[in-house]
């Protein structure tokens, strides 16, 4: 993993398809954007893979906590630019090791729905459960990772990068 670029990937898209599951996903994305006052509804830590999808687009190994997938998980997927913004994170061995350690210690941990709601209405968070931006902030190495939303996290990351700080 240390030889590959690591990114913060931010979902700004709208889920394709129809049916009640798609409409529920769109509604929760919309609500997340409204409550966190921004364009993003989800985030991932993504590592670019050497192979491409069948259509030639890059593939990424994405790790995060997802309510749709039941908690902390990894999946390989493309990150099309019409649906995702990606921020390259400063490459370091420490970042790669922190990401691997967090993954090893939280893989399959349940989703923290109350913690995610806590970003907007002051619910407490769980130390055994995770929501997406909390997991990503922890992987990046930010303190009090439970305080970050998918919209506040990129602002902090950009500030660190622009100041030349080590993440």
> Quick one: pLDDT at residue 121?
60
pTM of the model: 0.91
- Tokens at residue 77, please? 């997927």
φ, ψ for residue 92, nearest 5 deg? -155, 155
Q: What is the pLDDT of residues 118-154, one digit of tens each?
A: 666 655 666 788 999 999 999 999 999 999 999 999 9
Q: What is the pLDDT of residues 63-82, one digit of tens each?
A: 999 988 999 999 999 999 99
> Quick one: pLDDT at residue 136?
97
> Quick one: pLDDT at residue 21?
87
């Amino acid at each position: 993993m240390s030889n590959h670029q690591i990114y913060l990937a931010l979902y700004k898209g709208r889920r394709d398809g129809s049916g009640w599951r798609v409409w529920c996903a769109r509604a929760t994305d919309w609500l997340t954007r409204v409550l966190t006052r921004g364009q993003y509804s989800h985030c991932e830590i993504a590592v670019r893979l050497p192979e491409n999808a069948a259509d030639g687009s890059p593939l990424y190994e994405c790790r995060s906590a997802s309510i749709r997938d039941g908690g902390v998980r990894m999946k390989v997927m493309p990150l099309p630019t019409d649906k995702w913004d990606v921020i390259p994170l400063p490459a370091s061995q420490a970042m790669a090791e922190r990401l691997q350690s967090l993954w090893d210690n939280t893989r399959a941990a349940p989703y923290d729905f109350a913690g995610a709601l806590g970003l907007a209405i002051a619910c407490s968070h769980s130390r055994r459960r995770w929501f997406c931006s909390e997991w990503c902030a922890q992987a990046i190495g930010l303190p009090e990772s439970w305080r970050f939303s998918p919209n506040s996290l990129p602002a902090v990351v950009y500030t660190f990068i622009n100041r030349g700080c080590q993440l």
